[in-house]
Amino acid sequence: MLGYVLNSHQQWLCRQLSDRGYLVDRQTAVNDTAEAIQASVREGMARADLIIVTGGLGPTSDDRTRDLIAELLGRPLKSDSEVLARIEGFFGRRKRPVPASTRVQALVPEGATVLQNEHGTAPGLAMEFESGSRSGLLVMLPGPPRELRPMFLNQVLPLIGKRFGAAPDFCCSVLRTVGIGESFLEEKIAGDLAPLIKRGLDVGYCARVGEVDLRFVARAAEAESLVQEAEAVARKHLRTFIYGRDPEELNAVIVRLLTEKGKTLALAESCTGGYIANRITNVSGSSAVFLGGVVSYSNDAKRRFLGVKAETLAKHGAVSEAVAREMAEGVRRETGADFALAVTGIAGPTGGTVEKPVGTVFIALAAANGTEVKQNLNQYDRETFKFLTSQQALDMMRKELVAGTS
């Protein structure tokens, strides 16, 4: 709660559960105090059938979850000889002495099921709880993701299936769009989605700068067909605004399309400073289609590496349609790539003029059949400017590759 650690458990556990049709009702984070930990578990027992608690099972003095929950449920702790033997084995294999503090990890609340930890020393624990006339399952998992994740997949999911039976029918699909804002996106599809929403479809929009995710969820006997019908509506009205499906990102789509078509790409970046090259090279396999790039941050670099003419720079300025064009054509010529993207602009916060304010950017796509240049105004902070500009450049490339198909 001091803000030094990012909670990645919520997203991971929610995704695992919801992908299997379980509805996650609430996630809570609290401080490491007895009152806060016991209060949140007590509240969870009054509300839910399944409670998953993460962290606080380790050997140090701030690891209090096991004790506090055993106390709350009135279950005395007993040392489990099998768990102790496993802990000793863990250190033995690493040829290290067993620290005295780790022995608390062998304490198991009465009646609890032990979940073996294949990647650490703290076992997980599962136990039944009663709250009023209701009963449910409480699971404690160790905090480190590499211990928690396999334990959840291999041991907790089967336990949940046995305890609660199969989850209800559930279907979820996330389509990714680029080049359209969320309001306009909803306007285009809302009418045709309305009857599906009446039949139980849930529609969500997640807008980021430069892209909007469109999420369809259904929980019903006809969940799958509802989501399929919704996708058909989206594809009919949004067409090429849809670039793919979660979790594939736009850079991965570009590498996939280039690979499928046996085409190569080169980059000349000024204001994005290597960000587009970085995104492309984040994709495994990009070396087969990406020949290289130039980060021409100075005028000299634009002339020397890309052959941009001194007259063009003098006449139009570095941020201009003419320079973007020469940059793209220059890097295409130098590398022999099929396609070249070039960007030149003013990322800010300084460097703008009345004629070319901060955020002005020219994006060029050079190909065998000519060069296309677009001008945009991306008025954002520096890193957002880079991301949005890279989305626009990659989307020009995508549209060219998709259009080339038909």
Among positions 143-202, residues that touch a copy of itself (CB under 8 A) are 144, 146, 172, 174, 181-184, 186-187, 190
Instruction: Looking at 32-156, list the stretches that DSSP marks H as alpha helix, in order from N- to C-terminal side.
Output: 34-47, 65-72, 81-93, 145-151
Q: Of residues 272-291, which lie at the interface with a copy of itself (CB under 8 A)?
A: 272-278, 280-282, 284, 286-287, 290-291
Q: Of residues 24-63, which lie at the interface with a copy of itself (CB under 8 A)?
A: 24-32, 36, 40, 58-62
Return all residues near 376 (Cβ < 8 A) that are at least 6 apart: 360, 361, 363, 389, 392
Q: Of residues 255-274, which lie at the interface with a copy of itself (CB under 8 A)?
A: 267, 269, 272-274
Nearer to a copy of itself, 76 or 349 (CB): 349
Nearer to a copy of itself, 168 or 204 (CB): 204
In terms of Cα–Cα distance, which of 310, 324, 314 is closest to 366? 324
CA dihedral of 306, 307, 310, 316, whole degrees rounded to 10: -60
Site string for a copy of itself, 319-358 (x = CB under 8 A): ---------------xxx----------xxxxx-------
Nearer to a copy of itself, 79 or 298 (CB): 298
Minimum distance of a copy of itself from residue 305's CB (angstroms): 6
Q: Of residues 107-136, which lie at the interface with a copy of itself (CB under 8 A)?
A: 119
Minimum distance of a copy of itself from residue 5's CB (angstroms): 6
Q: How far apart are the first and last CA of the chain?
A: 53
d(CA 287, CA 278): 12
Rounded to whole angstroms, the maximal C-alpha distance in the chain is 84
Binding status of residue 220 toward a copy of itself by CB under 8 A: no
Q: Of residues 292-311, which lie at the interface with a copy of itself (CB under 8 A)?
A: 292-298, 300-301, 304-305
Q: Is 52 within 8 Å of 142 (Cβ atoms)?
A: no
Minimum distance of a copy of itself from residue 235's CB (angstroms): 19
Q: Which of 207, 259, 316, 317 binds a copy of itself (CB under 8 A)?
A: 207
CA dist 148 → 86, 354, 371 (Å): 17, 55, 52
Nearer to a copy of itself, 111 or 349 (CB): 349
- Does 247 sit behind a cis peptide bond, omega within 30 degrees of 0 on the bond before it? yes
